[in-house]
Amino acid sequence: MAGTMWIDTHCHLDAPEFDADRAAVRARAAAAGVAHIVIPAVAAGNFDVVRALAHRHGDCYALGIHPLCTGAATEEDLVLLDRALSAHRHDPRLVAVGEIGLDYFVPGLDGPRQEHFYREQLALARRHGLPVLLHVRRSADQLLKQLRRAEVTGIAHAFNGSAQQAAEFVKLGFRLGFGGTVTYERALQVRRLARDLPLSALVLETDAPDIPPHWLYRTAEERSGGAPQGRNEPGELPRIAQVLAQQRGMEPGALAEATFRNACAALPRLAAIARVTAG
């Protein structure tokens, strides 16, 4: 796959798991052919960090408040997001509002509070003319309900809903993000979706340092014996993509070209930067 270029549409390069070797992680990804990484914020406190990282490494970023962070977020954080989107509206590396969404999997979260921040951030995305990066965990129907009114598109990250829900996101113009989960033999639903959805609907991601592919995963038994959970990296994307290409019966290079094109369509500002790299 020499010369193949990939886009990791969702990577938390600012995460503390990368503090010791962040530059080396990005260099390994570049050596593997990962031309661009989209680094989403999760709270107002890391807006400046993700922007600085994107500029340092030639990548892109998104600004938003993650549903798992809404418990500590305030209305002032929404004001700060609006101001940041305005202040950097001419920055071509600001490609989306994200990571936003809903999470009904983690216990103890305030559902109505999440929904409030989700609605407000959709409105900001529409106002600023940006797509969104959506966190979708046991929340696809609720996300879709608001999206039908919001008139925004983007990427449903780490998608693991039903085929019917996937079709609804695609109908609204969304691309669906797939990553390490497709490497697990038992992830039957995700694998089926990644195999059967129209190629035009797919983008690739790692969600690094999370969702490690099976070759990095450590079981609970292994972890109880002292083995750390494997850390995912953006440099794993081409190998993950090889698994998906095999499932779809296509060459990895063709998958790279298609998902590169799809990512640029989902995140229009990325297209200009990608053309410079490709050229």
57 assigned to a ligand binding site: no
Residue 175 forms beta bridges with which residues? 155
- The CA distance from 11 to 9, in Å, is 7
* Cα gap 117→77, rounded to integer Å: 10
- On whether 12 is known to bind a ligand per the annotation, the reply is yes
User: Is 66 labelled as part of a ligand binding site?
Assistant: no
Residue 130 Rama label (left phi>0; alpha psi -120 to 50; beta): beta
Does 214 belong to an annotated binding site?
no
- Locate 191 and state its tokens: 């694998």
Helix (H, G, I), strand (E, B) or coil at 15: coil
Please check if 99 is assigned to a binding site. yes
Query: Is 221 annotated to bind ligand?
Result: no
Amino acid in the structure at residue 245: A
Distance CA 60, CA 162 (A): 30
Residues in the annotated binding site for a divalent metal cation: 10, 12, 99, 135, 157, 207
- What are the binding residues? 10, 12, 99, 135, 157, 207
